[in-house]
Chains A and B, each alone.
Chain A
Amino acid sequence: MIEKLGVRQVDNWQFFLIGGLLLLVLLTWIELLRQDKTQRMTRVIAIVLAITSLVLLALKPFYIKENTDDLTILLTNGSTKRDSLMLAHPNARFIEWSDTVQSSHLSPNVIVDGYGIPEYDLWKVGNRSISFIKPLAPSGVIDISYLNEVNEGEKIEISVKTNGIAGHKLVLQGLGEKYDSAVIGEGLDMVKLSCKLKAVGMYVLTLSQFDATDQLINAESIPVIINPAKKFDVLLINAFPTFESRFLKQFLEASGHNYFIRSQISTDKYRYESNGTNVNEMSRLTEAGLKPFDAIIINAAQLIALPRNQQQALANAVQNYGLGILVVASDGELVNKLPQWAYSNYKKAKNELFILSSNNNELEVGTSPYRFVPSVLSEVVYADDDGSIVQSKPYGLGKVVLSSFISTYELSLAGYEDAYQNLWKKLIESCLRPQAEYWSIPTEHNYVHRPMKFELRSDTLSRVVYGTDDIPLKQNLFVGDKWVSDVWPNNEGWNYVDINGQSGDRKYFYVHKPIAFESIQMEKRVEANSRLANESNMEETSPINSKEDISLWWFYIIFTISMAYLWLQPKFR
């Protein structure tokens, strides 16, 4: 019985009880001292009832009730089957979903009709058995996928999935210009729109939907952040100056990147050329000396000629610090002699040319007479019918890239500067050390007054500030440097969080208004509810109890009657 009862006034309940007991004792003692002994017992009982009622009025008791209702039907946004459900389940409880619906209001079995419970409220369902009546897919744009942060010079590519808007046109525009458009096909369709912004900064593009008569149906904001291209440091190790290294040097300079070139004059004698790096000399390759660089470009012959300890330093630098090494191997026999960590299987090639497509031109680039054989973890960068000309494989945190291109500078000499730059852009990017990102805010849309998840990677607890509030972080139990938290943005538009409370480390994110991307929201909600419905299992549910308050009127009535008796009884004696 006791485990089925409780009180709402949990703070200082002891004082109420002790006070009541003391009062009871006092009044009972007074009553026992009275000379008039008529109806003494009745009076004592009345005193006990009165004091007990008074104490219970203060403590507000309740009792635990087992929820014996079998079924709750939740009617959410887009619900269309209310009438048929009422006919099918006349005894079920029908609840219109809102933010105030609590978990305790739900039965062990729940049917959800409409687009479903919002994802951030799905926890309220708990481990109940859920049946979800999946609605028809909403029409319109039902999914958008794109990288909302790109580097300067990169294209922004937006994949849009639509449903049921055949003949409509999607137009991507921004900065007063129309960038791309696509006409939607029948049923479920996916289109790709792209644009390239030339200026660094944060912009909000617009994705407009026009119907077949060019009437504007909808316009959504597409926020993008163009980050400045981070400058990196490249180390070139030459046996002697070559045309290839000279043109590469010019390319890196034109792009604003730093380089350090080591050319060998004789044994232990080198000539260095530095542009923007803080390195003065590098007669010996050491792990610490290589750490500042983001990529190393070295000829295979030179790599083989390095002493073993310097080769190991290179390997360790790639493995431990994540930098990449591009080995230019112009001869198959040299590939054979590469150290194990850089080696790749290769085979003879039928021709020594690679046809590079650039601006509707088919350009020939010379290659060595062999091709690499891709292995399990390798990634092909350039290949033709014979095999891989450039391929990369991961090594620890970094990458080893092997290339059999020779004399690529001839492209530049022939006037195909664009082709040369694009070729080397891809080669260098394949081996460049990735920029460590400590933050991640999901690129899914964030809405005002709705929770937004973000992750932080840090070995130590950091302070994260949103506006003027510190955000509490929850550490992952198994991956100690991973912290997650929820942020509830309260402003539309661009918001930001600061790590360590400093504006130097600021992460911007865009918050949409609640009605933005309505069809996408509905689609995602349907997916989340479907997933939950599939995961739930009716047999594993446990009955849910609820607290029912005992009406205080009872105690008031008992107290009143008891006091009335105690007061009236002497008068009627």
Chain B
Amino acid sequence: MSSGYKILNRLKNQWRGLLVLESVLWLVGLMSLVYVINSKYGIGLGNVHLILVLVPIYTLLLLYFKPWKVDIKRSAQWVDLKLEDAENSAYLLISDTSSLSFLATLQQQRISNRIAQMAKQIYPPLHLLRMLGPFVIMVLISWVINISPAFESLHPNNDNQNTSPIIFNSADTTVKKEPAKILTQTVSVRPPAYTGLKSTSSAQMNVAALIGSRVNWLLEFNQPINKVLIETVGGSQFNFTKRNDKYQVSLSLEESGFYKFVFFDEAETRYESDIYQLIAIEDEVPVAEITDLNRFTQLEIEDPKDVMFTTEMRDDYGLAAASIIATVSKGSGESVKFREEQLEFDKPISMGSKSAVRKKSINLDDLKMEPGDELYFYVEVFDIKQPNPNRTRTETYFVSIRDTTEIEFTLEGSLGVDLMPDYFRSQRQLIIDTEKLIKNKPTLAKKDFNFTSNELGFDQKALRLKYGQFMGEEFETGITEETQEMVEEGLGETQDENDPLAAYSHAHDTENEHNLVPEEEQEDEDDPLKAYMHDHDDPEETTLYIASIKGKLRAAMNEMWDAELYLRLFEPHKSLPYQYKALELIKEIKNHARIYVHRMGFDPPPIKEEKRLTGDLEKVETLTRFNENENKEIKYPAILAALNYIEQLKASVTMDYDATIFKKAGDELGGIAIESPVKYLDALQNLQKLSIRKVEQDELPKILVKVQNQLHQAIPENLPTPVTKASSKDALTKLYLNQLNKTAND
């Protein structure tokens, strides 16, 4: 084999090597990205998974670079291309000499020698930028992702900043032996199946997971131990089970709290770890909202009876079902009837979908609604949480069909339905609106102000008319123009009586001159039966209410009349006192008319008429009830003791302390910390260290001050409670005070 051939062979091998190297550099760059993302974002790939990922990636890279495509022929082409001195004859070096012509053979030899001389100039194509560029870029990106706080881990389980191994310390400070060390520590969290989330594992012992998740701890020690368990701050213990030299325990996460690892070595010495936190995250309730529809809708009879709306729903882990709960009310007053129905959306929610938008059209005729009826409905949504799904509902929406056969009152605001179940509510609403009008006066145009004031005056009149109904059962009168008209009619009749010719003359310019309206006959005042007759005509003779109520109602209407007057005169501030007074009177009437009913299910003993109202108090006994005052005990005694103890320690020269005080304080703080575990974790850890004397002597003062501050923050604020003042009065002062009082009183 000629030297030229060997050179070409060598070139081929080098070239292949470069391509393989380039593919390897790409592989390293890509794998570093994968590794960083996996560890940062908790994708959950273990080492085996990474190897499995590596193989196909490298295969793809090899398929891309195809180092096997570089053969000796290609090397020869490359030499021909790059070396002019090869005179495009490098291919001769790979040809079989026996098949070559004499000239070709000569050329072959010549080129071989020449190439051998120029061997150092022959090298494969080297694209440094192409080779190293992507590698450097990928490695840089990986490094930035790893260290930059902008790429903070979203999964607290995989917080790279704190994956320190579990360190155990002996609870007995006299024990000098080194405790067993942890070789591997893993906590894996399996969220509830319905969430569809994957399990995660981490070496970080602070766990934050969904309620209902299954948390599994796996520990491996470097030496045999007797027993290992998890101990919560509340005192509950859960033993690990041994499996193949590893210890495992699995618990269901139901509430937040704190825990620590405790193990006993073969000498039954107890060792404890630091305190770690368990954060139980709740599955949030779904969110539902109805759009495209006003809260109160009133339809006319001739309007289409379709109510269309859109409901937007979303949930963190998935929706399960949604339905519309509709209630139809028919009638009013005591004869009102309710009928509830459950309606479904046209397109049901697909189980597990995180969000959904559904339209629905409710046909009121399908619900057999008639004018005057009202429909109340809301949308109820469930999520996929197991075993008890979360439920939410939207606001209640109101739809009614106006009944034009009833007299209605114009109400302020955008209310579409008659929301006046209480007769006396309107006056309060009028006051509110009047006050609002006065307040908005600077920003309103005069025209609008006057218009609104007039509208309020009209509403006041309408209210007054309504109350006027109660003054007489069948007459809608009150101190109104009608009453005024009646007074005028009465005056007219009186004038007629005084004129003897009135009966015979044809009076013009009088009302009813052509007797078009039948006149009422005047009652005979001397009618002896008047006192015994039930008169429905005269509102003054109505017996609907007792006299005092009637008087109050009349007074209220008087006030309403004055209020209306000032509202019509665009002076609402002057009408307010009258409105207040009217409201006050109405409230008094309401309270007067209130009846009291006893609780259901209570049958009082029958009243003994012979004893009733006799005033016999023989059997009425004096009763003393003794209550236990549960607030007398000192709250958080251990924390208070620790606070004071730390204060004493700060003043003392030696820092020798009683660790049990801090242990008790830690137990008490654990009870408070359940509500806010994150807030008190540092304090609990510090108390733990103090209780097992694992604080360095030079750090002790700083830790004590920190713990004192944390404990003081943990104590809730005191209630404002009366306190006795201290006072020292000697005999002279007492004498002086007595004399002073005597002089003042004289």
Contacts and interface: CB of A to CB of B under 8 A. Distances in A.
A408 B738 CA distance: 34
B99 interface: no
B85 to A, nearest CB: 79
A352 B1 CA distance: 123
A424 interface: yes
Contacts of B721: 153, 229, 255-257, 421, 425
Nearest to A151: B723
Given A253-B629, A272-B624, A481-B731, A434 B725 contact: yes
Contact of A254 (B625, B719, B732, B745): B719
Interface string A534-566: 000000000000000000000000000000000
Given A202-B647, A421-B719, A421-B720, A272 B729 contact: no
A257 B643 CA distance: 25
Interface stretch (A100-108, A116-124, A131-139, A192-200): A192-200
Nearest to B635: A256
B741 interface: yes
Interface in A128-177: 149, 151-154, 175-177
Nearest to B713: A177
Q: Is the interface of B mostly helix, strand, loop or mixed?
A: mixed
Nearest to A421: B720
B636 to A, nearest CB: 8
Contacts of A2: none
Given A437-B728, A481-B731, A281 B622 contact: yes
Nearest to B706: A176
Contacts of B443: none
Contacts of B712: 175-177, 197-199
A436 B727 contact: yes
B252 interface: no
Nearest to B732: A479
Interface in A415-446: 418, 421-422, 424-425, 428-429, 432-440
Contact of B631 (A253, A341, A421): A253
A396 B741 contact: yes
A564 to B, nearest CB: 66
A266 interface: yes
Given A153-B723, A176-B706, A258 B629 contact: yes
Given A201-B640, A269-B617, A435-B724, A394 B623 contact: no
Name the residue in B624, B626, B628, B716 with the highest tally of chain A Cβ atoms < 10 Å from its Cβ.
B624
A496 interface: no
Contacts of A428: 722
Contacts of B713: 177
A432 B724 contact: yes
A154 B708 CA distance: 20
Interface string A459-487: 00000000000000000001111100000
A255 B725 contact: no
A276 B712 CA distance: 30
A440 B729 CA distance: 11
B622 A283 contact: yes
Contact of A152 (B620, B718, B730, B745): B718
Name the residue in A199, A319, A422 with the highest tally of chain B Cβ atoms < 10 Å from its Cβ.
A199
Given A176-B705, A274-B624, A425-B721, A434 B726 contact: yes
A273 B628 CA distance: 11
Contacts of A407: none
B651 A204 contact: yes
A469 to B, nearest CB: 22
Contacts of B634: 228
Contacts of B745: 340-341
Nearest to B633: A256
Name the residue in B705, B713, B721, B745 with the highest tally of chain A Cβ atoms < 10 Å from its Cβ.
B721
A181 to B, nearest CB: 17
Contacts of A93: none
Contacts of B716: 198
B375 to A, nearest CB: 34
Nearest to A274: B626
A112 B109 CA distance: 124
A173 B712 CA distance: 13
A232 interface: yes
B491 interface: no
Contacts of B622: 265, 269-272, 281, 283
A457 interface: yes
Given A176-B705, A436-B728, A255 B719 contact: yes
A450 B629 CA distance: 47
Contact of B724 (A271, A294, A421): A294
Contacts of B708: 175-176
A154 B716 CA distance: 14
Contacts of A281: 622, 624
Interface of A: 149, 151-154, 175-177, 197-204, 228-232, 253-258, 265-266, 269-276, 280-281, 283, 294, 319, 340-341, 375-377, 394-397, 418, 421-422, 424-425, 428-429, 432-440, 457, 478-482, 493-494
Interface of B: 617, 620, 622-629, 631-632, 634, 639-640, 643-644, 647, 650-651, 705-706, 708-710, 712-713, 715-732, 734, 737-738, 740-741, 744-745
Given A253-B627, A433-B724, A438-B728, 18 more contacts: A152-B723, A153-B721, A204-B650, A229-B723, A254-B719, A255-B719, A256-B721, A258-B629, A272-B625, A273-B625, A283-B622, A397-B734, A418-B720, A422-B720, A424-B722, A434-B724, A436-B726, A436-B729
